[in-house]
Structure 1
Amino acid sequence: MDKTQSKFDPTTTISSEFGIFGIPLTEEESLVTLVPVPWEVTTSYGRGASDGPRIIREASEQIDLFDFETGKAYESGYFMREFPQELKDMNDKYKEKAQELIGLRTSLSEDTARMDKLAAEVNAACEKMTAWVFDQCKSVLKNKKLLGLVGGDHSTPWGAIQAVAEEYKGDFGVLHIDAHADLRKAYQGFTQSHASIMYNVMTGDKRPKKLVQIGIRDFCEEEFDFIESRKDIRTFFDMELKRRLLAGESWAQVCQDILKELPQNVYISFDIDGLDPAFCPSTGTPVPGGLSIDQVFYLFNEIHKSGRKIVAFDLNEVSTGGEEEAEWDGNVGARVLYKLCGWLVKTNQR
C-alpha cells in the first residue's frame, strides 16, 4: 500500500482503546504515528496533565475528518500507540515524591538528606522517561513514519526532540508555543522539570539550530537574561505581539516576522497554555493573555505556504485539572492535534 495515499471509508469508525480520530487503520498502514506520554511528575501547580493523551483520544472521535485547510490529509492515516501503563504507574509513584520534595522546600525544611534523596529518585525517574520517549520516537522515524508526541507535561518531548536532532543532524528549528519560556535551570531541583524543557533542549548535545518562541508571558529574570545571551533564541513575548496588534498591525504581518526566524525544517512544540486560558481552563499553569486558536491555525497555514516542512511535533499540558474529566480541554486538545497532524502530512507531501 502507498502509505501517503491510503484510502478508507470515513463513515466507518472503530471502537478501540488505541488509534485516534476513529480512523480504522493500523500503525503499519498509517503515515503518522503518535506517541502518548502520560507523565506529569514535576508539575508544580495544577495536576491532570498525565491524563492528557486519554482525554484527547476520547474526544477525537467526534471530529469531522474533512478539514477546510488540510482537506483529506487524514487519508494518509493517523495512529496513536498503546498507552504505556507502566510509565503511567511510574508517574503516579514519583509524582508523590516530587510533591513531597516541593513541600519540604516550600516549608524551608532543614532535612537536606531527605530532600537530596527525593531529588535523586525523581531525577532518575525522569531520565528513564526521557530515554523511553527517545527510543519510541527513534522507532517511529526508523519506520519512515511522521512523528507526533502527545503529553503529558512539557518535560515529555525532550527525548523526541533529541531523536529528531539525530535524524536531521540538528538542521531544524523549534517553534515553541507557550505561556512560559521554560528556560529555568533545574527548576525546584528537578533537572528535567517541565519548566526546564527548552533550557535542556538548547544546552544539550543534540539540539536544534534555532529556538523561536511565541506567546511567552510568564518568565523570570534568569530566563530573560538567558534569551538575551543567545543568538539562536528569538522570543516573541506576548506583550510585544499584543502591542503590535493594538497599534494596527495585522496578524499576517506578525506571522511573516515569525517565519523569518525559522529555518526550512520546523519542529513544533505546543504547550496548550500558550493559548488564551478560555481554550484550556484546566491546564496546569494557566496565564492570562495568550493566543487565540485561530491565530495559531493561521500560523500553521503560513508555515505551509512558505514552503517550510514540519518535521515532527509535540502537544502538551492538555489536562483534566485533577478531575476525572475535562470535556472542553479534551475537545480543544483533539482539534489542535488534528490540525497538527494535517499540516505535518501536507508539508511532507510536496
Structure 2
Amino acid sequence: MIDKQGQPTIFLASEIEQCPLAEAAFAVLPVPYEKTVSYGSGTARGPEAILVASEQLETWDGHSNPSSLGIHTCMAVDCSGQAEDVIESIAMAVKQILDAGSMPVVLGGEHTVTYGVIKAYLDAGVTDFGVVQIDAHADLRDAYEGDPLSHASVMKRIVDEGIPLYQLGIRAYCGEEKAIRESNPHIYYQDADELVPQAIQSIQLPDAFPEKVFFTVDIDGLDPSVFPSTGTPVPGGLGWYQTLNLFESVARHRQIIGFDIMEFSPLQNLHAYDFAAALLSYKMMGIVQRTSNMMS
C-alpha cells in the first residue's frame, strides 16, 4: 500500500518512524483480501483506510504508549489468485513476523484471512493455543455456497485443525452451526443475548482452554451503532468499551500471541469509522503492552 508520495503507508506514520521488524514488538500486516463476502462489499479497502486513519492517533492511548515498543508495518499481502494461494501467502507473511519475534497485528479483509493467519502459527510449530473470536456470526459452516474457504466457514476450518475456540457476541447462526457448537467440546461461547443485556465486561476462559490465545475481531461483532462500516451488520452487538474490556479480561489471564481486525468496510466520507478501527487496533496493542510486562 502506497501513499501519495509513493511511500509505503505505515501505521501511525505521522508520529513514529518505521521500526525494523526484528526490533518491533508489533508487526502490522495489511491483507486486503475480499472474495466471498455475502452482503455488502468493501473489506478489501479496510486495511488501507485503517492505516491512513492511524495518522490521526496520539501515541499515548490514555494509559500507555504502545508505539514505544516499536511498530513495523509490513507490505500488504498480494491477494490476487486463487483462495488457496492467498491463504498460503498470508501464512508465509505471518510466519516471517513470528520468525522475527514480533507480534502479528493483522488488518483484513474478509474473515477468511484469519485461517491463513492461524495456518502460519501451525506452520511455525505453535500448536498449544486457542482462538477467541468476537463476531456477530459463528462462521462454522462447513462450506458456504459450496466454498469451504468462505468467510462464513473460517472458524470451522480452524476448529478442524484441532484448535479450541471461544466465541463472544454471536447472534446470527444457522442450524448446522448450532449442531457443530453443541457437538464439539472444544467450542465455547457467550453470545450477545447474554453479554449485552447483562453488560458483561469480563470473562474467565475455562481451565482447559490453552494459555496462549490468538484473538480475532470481526468488526460486525460490535453493534452497528458503533460500526455500521461492515458488510453484514447485525443489531444487538457489543459496545466500544465492552469490547475492549472483554479483550483485556482475556489478556489478563492468558498470553495474547497475536490479534486481528477483520471485515472492516470503510464508508465514503464517514472517516469517523476509519479512525475508530485504527484506534481499536492501537488500544488492543496498548492492552497487550500493559498486561504482558512489555512496558519499556
TM-score normalised by length of structure 1 = 0.76
2:68 counterpart residue number: 75
Residues 1:128 and 2:85 are matched in the alignment: yes
1:50 counterpart residue number: 44
CA separation in 1, counterparts of 2:87 and 2:72?
21
Cα separation, partners in 2 of 1:231 and 1:164, compared to 1, 3 Å: same
2:246 counterpart residue number: 299
Aligned match of 1:312 in 253, 258, 275? 258
2:273 counterpart residue number: 329
Structure 2 regions of 5+ residues with no counterpart?
none
CA separation in 2, counterparts of 1:263 and 1:68?
30
CA separation in 2, counterparts of 1:140 and 1:251?
34
**CA distances 1:73-102 after superposition (whole Å, capped 9, x unpaired):** 210111221234x42xx27xxxxxxxxxxx
**Does the 8 Å contact 1:172/1:267 carry over to 2?**
yes
CA separation in 2, counterparts of 1:135 and 1:56?
22
User: Based on CA coordinates, which of the two structures has the bigger radius of gyration?
Assistant: 1
Query: What RMSD in Å do the two structures reach over aligned CA positions?
Result: 2.2
Moved over 6 A (4+): none
In the TM superposition, 1:1-350 aligns within 5 A as 16-22=7-13, 23-28=16-21, 29-69=23-63, 71-84=64-77, 86-87=78-79, 90=80, 125-167=82-124, 169-204=126-161, 207-208=162-163, 210-243=164-197, 245=198, 251-252=200-201, 255-258=202-205, 262-306=209-253, 308-320=254-266, 323=268, 326-349=270-293
**Does the 8 Å contact 1:319/1:329 carry over to 2?**
no
**Does the 8 Å contact 2:61/2:282 carry over to 1?**
no
Which amino acid counterpart does residue 172 of structure 1 have in structure 2?
F
CA separation in 1, counterparts of 2:158 and 2:252?
27
Which amino acid counterpart does residue 143 of structure 2 have in structure 1?
A
1:103 counterpart residue number: none
**Does the 8 Å contact 2:97/2:103 carry over to 1?**
yes
**Does the 8 Å contact 1:214/1:236 carry over to 2?**
yes
* Alpha-carbon shift at residue 189 of structure 1 (Å): 1.3
**CA distances 1:263-298 after superposition (whole Å, capped 9, x unpaired):** 321110110100011121120100001100100111
CA separation in 2, counterparts of 1:326 and 1:27?
33
Which amino acid counterpart does residue 251 of structure 1 have in structure 2?
I
Moved more, 28-37 or 138-147: 28-37
**CA distances 1:35-92 after superposition (whole Å, capped 9, x unpaired):** 11111101110010000001001100111111233x12210111221234x42xx27x
Query: SS of the counterpart of 2:56?
Result: coil
Cα separation, partners in 2 of 1:184 and 1:326, compared to 1, 3 Å: farther
Which amino acid counterpart does residue 341 of structure 1 have in structure 2?
M
Fraction of identical pairs, as percent: 33
Higher helix fraction (1 or 2): 1
* Alpha-carbon shift at residue 331 of structure 1 (Å): 1.2
**Does the 8 Å contact 2:196/2:237 carry over to 1?**
no
**Does the 8 Å contact 1:312/1:344 carry over to 2?**
no
CA separation in 1, counterparts of 2:117 and 2:292?
18
CA separation in 2, counterparts of 1:269 and 1:181?
12
Cα separation, partners in 2 of 1:278 and 1:15, compared to 1, 3 Å: farther
Instruction: Count how many residue pairs are aligned between Structure 1 and Structure 2.
Output: 287
TM-score normalised by length of structure 2 = 0.90
Moved more, 331-340 or 125-134: 331-340
Query: SS of the counterpart of 1:194?
Result: coil
* Alpha-carbon shift at residue 240 of structure 1 (Å): 2.5
* Alpha-carbon shift at residue 16 of structure 1 (Å): 4.7
* Alpha-carbon shift at residue 260 of structure 1 (Å): 5.7
